[in-house]
Structure 1
Amino acid sequence: MANLILFTYVSLEDFMLPCFTKQYFGIDCFGCGIQRSLALILRGEFMEAFKMYPAIYTLLLFFGIIGVNIFYKFNYAQKLIRNLAIINAIIIAISFINKYIN
């Protein structure tokens, strides 16, 4: 019962790390929003998570494939990982630029 009461008062946002780039320089970094986006996914707010950090789903796929590849080597894994890394870099860069244009 005590765990349930504690769980209702403690949220993931209480444990998030601050962005040092934003804190010291006043600008967002390429990763700003990823922690909040993961918290939104865990709460089931999938569209809000995408709006917060557009690369979240491709990053989850990227790290999921890397994790699977550690234990089970499959054909074309390196090519798939490389292509997902490029796609993620493009999405992150576009969303970063879009954040400052709008």
Structure 2
Amino acid sequence: MLINLKDYMLPCFSKTFFGIECLGCGFQRSFLMLIHGDFLGSFKMYPAIFTLLGLFLFILINFKAKFKQSKKIISSLAYLNLSIMIINYLIKINY
């Protein structure tokens, strides 16, 4: 039995109530595209998808195998993701 995940997507409250997209708008749709194998479409929808998943994966691995510089790596990946999200947001609102 295949579940249609589009039926379970959460609406963006910022976009719903204020009409303004947030930094996370597009993540769910991008993730669904990634699951279906559309890597380029996923990246175009939400460019931070791959680095964000890399961050989550590193955090999960770090729970099991502790790295010496884990705090530095996690903060660097978080800043990278935030930068990509902000740049993507600025591009979206200007076009």
Q: Quick check: TM above 0.5? A: yes
> Residue in 2 aligned with 1:63?
56
Q: Secondary structure at the match of 2:47?
A: coil
Q: Percent identity?
A: 45
> Residue in 2 aligned with 1:12?
5
Q: Report whether the alignment pairs 1:83 with 2:76.
A: yes
TM-score between both structures, scaled by the size of structure 2: 0.96
> Residue in 1 aligned with 2:94?
101
Gap runs ≥5 in structure 2: none
**One-letter amino acid of the counterpart of residue 44, structure 1:** G
> Residue in 2 aligned with 1:48?
41
State the number of aligned residues: 95
**One-letter amino acid of the counterpart of residue 33, structure 1:** G
The runs of at least 4 aligned residues of structure 1 exceeding 3 Å deviation read none
Deviations 1:33-52 (A, max 9, x none): 00001100000000000000
Gap runs ≥5 in structure 1: none
Q: Secondary structure at the match of 1:37?
A: helix
1:75 Cα deviation (Å)?
2.2
TM-score between both structures, scaled by the size of structure 1: 0.89
- Pairwise CA RMSD of aligned residues? 0.8
Whole-Å Cα distance in 1 between the matches of residues 15 and 49 of structure 2? Answer: 20
Deviations 1:31-86 (A, max 9, x none): 00000011000000000000000000000000100011011101211111110011
